[in-house]
Amino acid sequence: MSKKRWNIAIVGATGVVGEQLIECLEERNFPVGEIKYLASSGSAGKTLEFKGTAVAIQELTHDSFEGIDIAFFSADSQRAREFCPSAWKAGAVCIDTSNAWRMDPEVPLVVPEVNPRAIAGYSNKGIIATPACSTIQMVVALKPLHDYGNIKRIVVSTYQAVSATGKKAIAELHKQVVELLNTRTPDSEVYPHRIAFNCLPQIDSFCDNGYTGEEMKLVDETRKIMEADIKITATAVRVPVFYGHSESINIETEKKISAGQARELISKAPGCELVDDPAEQVYPLAQDAAGQDLVQVGRIREDHSIENGLNLWVVADNIRKGAATNAVQIAEILIEKYLK
């Protein structure tokens, strides 16, 4: 890694992803020179630590990026659309975890284990987008299988943790569980229905085609990242889990891949961990994926209803791997290969 020190800004530093970004930068020993925490005016003046030193949070403005080399955006898409151009104008490369720029043809959409070369396209607008956390773990798991057998079709159902919605959703699940266990009827404010002890087959708003925005992200982002016109259909479900998205994935390939071959391919793939011993009740669990960076893959079996089909169960920490680590990995490649 480069010996130079880089000045970093984190937009949305007080959010779930922002706090995880800080932790990942520390753990991975990213060569940080100065670090600037940016958030709304309500958080300005408060402090967060970086490697044991208190850093004051500053209010996000269009003048916040002078002297910054890399700006991590972990805020909402509205702020990313408004402030990324200002950051680039000031000389900072933006790495955005929101959905603001993902489908912009001039902005690379990057998962380092899958399409690291796309990072070179940052110079178009000074922005690198990261996909939805559900997309990240799916393409990391499917990359080695696609390289070997050329995936034709994907059917995916996701079971997504509340942390993807932010701190208010985490608090609401906790509160609802306590209320129900005390025989009280809880209120639902973050989601349209109670999430505790329930499953909601809606993530994001519904589109005209009957799919939700989250489901269409899985379709559109996967095609862009893998640069392939794969047929994809998705169902996204919110479940009462704090951290860790789980996915049931069925694929159809042009070239036959046996279950044994799939296990071997995934066991050697970057970013993947094979967790697949059903006889011993060993398979990926959200509780085990939480807090680590690997995409766990198991329950690998052939789908005998089609000629070349496979089923997989894929789990990852949606906040850590599905947002923060992916963004930091992009920054590591950026400073190693592209920035001077």
Q: Which residues are catalytic?
A: 133, 245
Neighbours of 92 (CB within 10 A): 24
Alpha helix (H) ranges present in 150-256?
A: 167-181, 213-226
Continuous H helices in 131-241: 133-149, 167-181, 213-226
Amino acid letter, 111: V
Dist. CA 84–CA 318, nearest whole Å: 24
- Looking at residue 2, its amino acid is S
Q: How many whole angstroms separate alpha carbon 88 and alpha carbon 55?
A: 23
Alpha helix ranges (H) inside 197-325? 213-226, 259-267, 286-289
Residue in this structure with the two tokens 């659309």, named with its chain if needed: 81
| CA atoms in the 13 A half-sphere facing the CB of 329 | 23
**How far is it, in rounded angstroms, from Cα 297 to Cα 140?**
10
Residue reference for tokens 């959200």: 286
